[in-house]
Amino acid sequence: MSDGIKSVLTPAESQEETQQIHGVSRRQFVHAAGAAGLAASVGPFILPRSARAAGKTLKILQWAHFVPAYDKWFDNEYTRRWGEKNDTQVIVDHVGIPAINSRAAAEVSAQKGHDLFMFLWPAPTYETQVIDHSEIYQECERKHGKAIDLAVKSTYNPKTRKYFGFSDSFVPDPVNYRIDLWGEAGMEKGPASWDDVLKVGRKIKDKRNIPVGIGLSAELDTAMAMRTSLYAFGGSVQDQQGRVTLDSKRTLEAVKFVQALRKETMTPEVLAWDASSNNRALLAGKLSLCLNAISTTRAAENEKLPIADQLGLTKALRGPVRAIGLEHVMDCYVIWNFAENKEGAKKFLVDYIDDFLDGFKASQYYNFPCFPKTVPDLPKMLAADPHMPRGKYSVRGDVLNWATNVGYPGYANAAVDEIFNTWVINTMFAKAASGAMSPEAAIKEADTKCKAIFAKWQAKKLV
Amino acid sequence: MSASIARQRAAAGRNRPWCDDEALLGRMLLAPAVIYITALVGFPFFLAIFYSLSDATVGSTTLHFVGLRNYEGILQDPTFWRSLQNAIVFTLISQALVVVLGKILAMALYGDFRGKWLVRLLILLPWVAPMSLGSIGWLWIFDPVYSIINWSARALHIFGPEIWPVWLGQPDLAMASVILVDVWRLLPLATVIILAGLSAIPQDIHDAAQVDGAGFWRHLFMINIPLVMPIMLVALLFGIVFTFTDMIVIFVLTRGGPFDTTQVIASYSFFTGVQGGDLAAGAAISLFLFPVLAAVAVVFLTLARRAEVA
């Protein structure tokens, strides 16, 4: 009998009998593993989502602010309050600066992501992926008066007549300098011109071995600082009509000046910097001057560093043609075409501008308003800042007289954006300043790249 | 009688549960790997070819065919040629170091000594740690202000008061630094692979060589290296593929700088395609990795096979 049964068993079944002696059979194992896999993959779709809140959701992505107190206020106070008032669950995600572009690309590729996405610079490359933000500007202008020119030039495309973003605020980029060192060299109020930086910076470096620190690397602060010097010397990447004008005598003067500045006042470390290197070096007492927002002075004050009282601020440096500075950071919110809560995102931005005074205070005067009437007492508030030396923040009171946008004297367009993000201008200055290329050759190379980039975006009819 | 048994077996086969069907189960177990490779390697590869022939940008969802225009643009771009050259130099130097050091380490670890497990653990750590975290650690080690290398060298009077190398700010030092980090990362893998090869050599071969009076060098070049060669070539192949396609070390340490002197194909593709927004050009740049890697893989696998047969 037993033999008869065995004769119809397959070899696998015979083996299974043996295996069962030791515990779980292969059949049981495969069934169990299959069931577990199925449960893991299907479970999340059929199980009830208890965490889901009632009402709407608004998802915001923005950078991890250089002033951490701002994020604390924005995440834990402001958005919570706004959410309760508007029956909306507000989710705020933060990313570091280097991840902003890759995150945006991923969201567009997936056609899914946040309702509000904040860039730290104009993002016209994404123009076809975002709604026209003119409605938000109109509503805010109705309530608070005209937006500053800097905001418009950073978020409007005159070619397509579309607002491809909405700018709530910007951050001025003053000169940060050591009062003790510059005072010792006879310039206690800091440099007023690029020429002062070269002459006095050299004197300080020779005497105290403390260099000037203006980045020449592939990073945000360098991008701003190099454009500042370019514009001050009369050069520019494009003209008002959006034609490439980089290869000019003015650019050559600027590049030659930066070459001298690097050689006589700086060390090669500026070629390796990231966006926070100048902050660290200034706070460590290793720099006599850098171009930066007030995150450095605020960090020194908040951490009660002895150097805090020795850090002074001054306005944009005068070049042979003009005294001009760039914004350090330009907050540009966009609402994607695929955002799930467009109306909520629009309302949030309008309400945020209504409450901008709170944001200005929470950022410790870092974020400046794009609608100036929202902070009517701005100069007074800056003058009343209690930190030493008293009144140092006042130099930023007339920032709109000396700050301009990326793409000056034209608008920030898609070609300017790509040139900015691929560090073409940074590399041009760095190659010449390090002696790897002659200034003329470095400019020619960058000009060729700029023209190719402009031609590409012109073909797409966005420039 | 036999026909009846055959019928019974056929009926049993038809009624057999799917998990007992060897052929079906084999295919099912292989399926995740095939799906994984198709979805994460095959699909992106063909997508990259498609993008490289289009005018895709990060902000566009509609594409237009532009033929080979992106490739023409890249071939005229001096930064591309610099990146290709850097990628080759970076890979060759780092892999030469990895193979030599890996062999030395494997031989050191092959013998018996106290605390061997601890040494093995320490050597494996760089491979186990996430690459981005390891690179950030190195970023601090090379920091222009706080570099622990400079600080230690100055404290030990190796560097004088005027010497303070800026590791990531000078082209040659920057390239040396990224090579060093790559070697640090890949050395454990090569060591473990070579160690496995060494352990597989039968003891009688070593004994016979000893009886014949072979010294250390003869033993190394006539026995150890030839017998470990196939597996060493596999380690080298892995190393070349990992290094040639890697951008984490470059991205964290130098971002291609100073002024593109450490830019490699993978990082330049990322900066152009994702950071710069020109997805089509980025895809075209990345595709230059493919023929190089395919050729390297074919050559090395052929060599490994021949060495094995020999």
The 3-class secondary structure across B105-128, one letter per residue, is HHHHHHCCCCCHHHHHHHHHHHHH
Phi, psi at A313, each rounded to 5°: -125, 145
The answer to whether residue A19 is domain-embedded is: no
A8 vs B contacts (CB less than 8 Å): 5, 8-9, 12
Same-domain status, A206 and A277: yes
Same-domain status, A87 and A164: yes
What is the rounded CA–CA span in Å between residue A463 and residue A124? 10
The answer to whether residue A29 is domain-embedded is: no
DSSP string, A252-285: HHHHHHHHHHHHHH--GGGGG--TTHHHHHHHTT
Taking the Cβ of residue A216 and every Cβ of chain B, the question of whether any pair is shorter than 8 Å is answered with yes
List of chain A residues with pLDDT < 50: 1-21, 48-53
The answer to whether residue A9 is domain-embedded is: no
Out of A27, A272, A460, closest to residue B257 by CB? A272
What is the rounded CA–CA span in Å between residue B304 and residue B306? 5
Taking the Cβ of residue B145 and every Cβ of chain A, the question of whether any pair is shorter than 8 Å is answered with yes
pLDDT at B94: 96
* Nearest chain A residue (CA) to B25: A30
SS3 B194: helix
Which contacts (CB < 8 Å, 24+ apart) does range B195-199 have? B195/B106, B195/B109, B195/B110, B196/B231, B197/B106, B197/B227, B197/B228, B197/B230, B197/B231, B197/B232, B198/B106, B198/B107, B198/B110, B198/B224, B198/B228, B199/B110
Confidence of residue B308 (pLDDT cuts 50, 70, 90): low
Taking the Cβ of residue B256 and every Cβ of chain A, the question of whether any pair is shorter than 8 Å is answered with yes
Taking the Cβ of residue B5 and every Cβ of chain A, the question of whether any pair is shorter than 8 Å is answered with yes
Instruction: Mutate one of A20, A25, A269 to test the B interface: name it (highest B CB count within 10 A).
Output: A269
DSSP string, A378-445: HHHHHHT--SSSTTGGGGGTTGGGTEE-TTTTS---HHHHHHHHTTHHHHHHHHHHHTSS-HHHHHHH
Least Cα separation, residue A268 to chain B (angstroms): 6
Same-domain status, A356 and A237: no
Domains and CATH numbers, chain B: 77-309 (1.10.3720.10)
Give the structural domain span for A141.
56-171+329-383
Contact A389, A310 (CB under 8 A): no
Domain count, chain A: 2
The answer to whether residue A333 is domain-embedded is: yes
Instruction: List CB contacts of B295: < 8 A, sequence separation 6 or more.
Output: none
Least Cα separation, residue A316 to chain B (angstroms): 26
* Nearest chain B residue (CA) to A164: B59
Same-domain status, A303 and A365: no
Last residue of a domain, one of A337, A365, A383: A383
- Cβ contacts below 8 Å, chain A against chain B, sum to 138
A109 vs B contacts (CB less than 8 Å): 58
Least Cα separation, residue B176 to chain A (angstroms): 14
What is the rounded CA–CA span in Å between residue A122 and residue A416? 9
Tell me the CA distances in angstroms from A376 to A144, A168, A196, A380, A403, one per residue in order.
Answer: 10, 15, 34, 9, 19
What is the rounded CA–CA span in Å between residue A439 and residue A430? 10
3-state helix, strand, coil in chain A (%, to 5): 55, 15, 35
- What mean pLDDT comes out for the span B125-132? 87
Task: Look up the CATH number of the domain holding residue A195.
Answer: 3.40.190.10
Phi, psi at A175, each rounded to 5°: -85, 130
Contact A26, A19 (CB under 8 A): yes
pLDDT at A98: 84
Taking the Cβ of residue A126 and every Cβ of chain B, the question of whether any pair is shorter than 8 Å is answered with yes
Taking the Cβ of residue A452 and every Cβ of chain B, the question of whether any pair is shorter than 8 Å is answered with yes
- Dihedral, B296, B300, B301, B306 alpha carbons, nearest 10: 150
pLDDT at A8: 40
Question: Does the model's ipTM exceed the 0.90 cut?
Answer: no
- What mean pLDDT comes out for the span B289-306? 85
Same-domain status, A136 and A267: no
The answer to whether residue A47 is domain-embedded is: no
Taking the Cβ of residue B58 and every Cβ of chain A, the question of whether any pair is shorter than 8 Å is answered with yes
Same-domain status, A359 and A399: no
Which of B246, B294, B238, B239 is closest to B266 using CA atoms?
B246
Confidence of residue B96 (pLDDT cuts 50, 70, 90): very high
What is the rounded CA–CA span in Å between residue B249 and residue B91? 13
Instruction: Mutate one of A120, A217, A413, A438 to test the B interface: name it (highest B CB count within 10 A).
Output: A217
Distance of CA A248 to the CA centre of its chain: 29
The answer to whether residue A1 is domain-embedded is: no
Phi, psi at B145, each rounded to 5°: -95, -45
- Dihedral, A254, A257, A263, A265 alpha carbons, nearest 10: -110
Listing from the earlier edge strand, what are the strands of the sheet with A116-119? A88-95, A56-63, A116-119, A332-334
Count CB atoms within 10 A of the CB of residue A352: 22
Least Cα separation, residue A414 to chain B (angstroms): 9
pLDDT in tens, B255-284: 998 999 999 999 999 999 998 999 999 999
Out of A9, A30, A125, closest to residue B277 by CB? A125
Instruction: List CB contacts of A451: < 8 A, sequence separation 6 or more.
Output: A244
A434 is written with which tokens? 């390090």
Same-domain status, A117 and A189: no
Same-domain status, A412 and A445: yes
pLDDT at A17: 46
If you search the block for the tokens 């706004």, which residue do you land on?
A82
Least Cα separation, residue A107 to chain B (angstroms): 10
Out of B17, B144, B276, closest to residue A418 by CB? B276
What is the rounded CA–CA span in Å between residue A48 and residue A161? 46
Instruction: List CB contacts of A191: < 8 A, sequence separation 6 or more.
Output: A175, A177, A182, A197, A200, A201, A289, A314, A317
Q: Where are the alpha helices (DSSP H) in A11-117?
A: 11-22, 26-46, 68-73, 79-85, 100-110
Last residue of a domain, one of A383, A404, A420: A383
Taking the Cβ of residue A351 and every Cβ of chain B, the question of whether any pair is shorter than 8 Å is answered with no
B169 vs A contacts (CB less than 8 Å): 267-273
A298-314: b (≥16 Cβ within 10 Å) or e: bbbbeeeeebbebbbbb
Out of A127, A286, A427, closest to residue B59 by CB? A127
Confidence of residue B9 (pLDDT cuts 50, 70, 90): low
A220 vs B contacts (CB less than 8 Å): none
Out of A111, A268, A414, closest to residue B170 by CB? A268
What is the rounded CA–CA span in Å between residue B170 and residue A228? 25
Among B47-51, B93-97, B145-149, B260-264, the range scoring the smallest mean pLDDT is: B145-149
Taking the Cβ of residue A269 and every Cβ of chain B, the question of whether any pair is shorter than 8 Å is answered with yes
Share of chain B above pLDDT 70, in %: 94
A7 vs B contacts (CB less than 8 Å): 5, 8
A394 is written with which tokens? 């006042």
B55 vs A contacts (CB less than 8 Å): 456, 459-460
What is the rounded CA–CA span in Å between residue B133 and residue B252? 9
Q: B residues 158-187 near A, CB within 8 Å? A: 166-171, 174
Are A111 and B259 within 8 A, CB to CB?
Answer: no
What is the rounded CA–CA span in Å between residue B231 and residue B211? 27
Which of A78, A60, A63, A134 is closest to A341 using CA atoms?
A60
Instruction: Mutate one of A157, A214, A274, A460 to test the B interface: name it (highest B CB count within 10 A).
Output: A274
Taking the Cβ of residue A119 and every Cβ of chain B, the question of whether any pair is shorter than 8 Å is answered with no
Same-domain status, A247 and A313: yes
The answer to whether residue A431 is domain-embedded is: yes
Share of chain B above pLDDT 90, in %: 57
Out of A104, A267, A456, closest to residue B166 by CB? A267
Taking the Cβ of residue B259 and every Cβ of chain A, the question of whether any pair is shorter than 8 Å is answered with yes
A460 vs B contacts (CB less than 8 Å): 55, 57, 60
The answer to whether residue A27 is domain-embedded is: no
Are B58 and A452 within 8 A, CB to CB?
Answer: no
What is the rounded CA–CA span in Å between residue B242 and residue B183? 11
Least Cα separation, residue A237 to chain B (angstroms): 16
Same-domain status, A180 and A317: yes
Is residue B254 pLDDT above 90, yes or no?
yes
Same-domain status, A77 and A152: yes
Same-domain status, A153 and A186: no
Taking the Cβ of residue A33 and every Cβ of chain B, the question of whether any pair is shorter than 8 Å is answered with no
B103 is written with which tokens? 């062999």
Is residue B28 pLDDT above 80, yes or no?
yes
Taking the Cβ of residue B78 and every Cβ of chain A, the question of whether any pair is shorter than 8 Å is answered with yes
DSSP string, A295-310: HHHHHHHHTT-GGGGG
Are B16 and A30 within 8 A, CB to CB?
Answer: no
* Nearest chain B residue (CA) to A425: B259
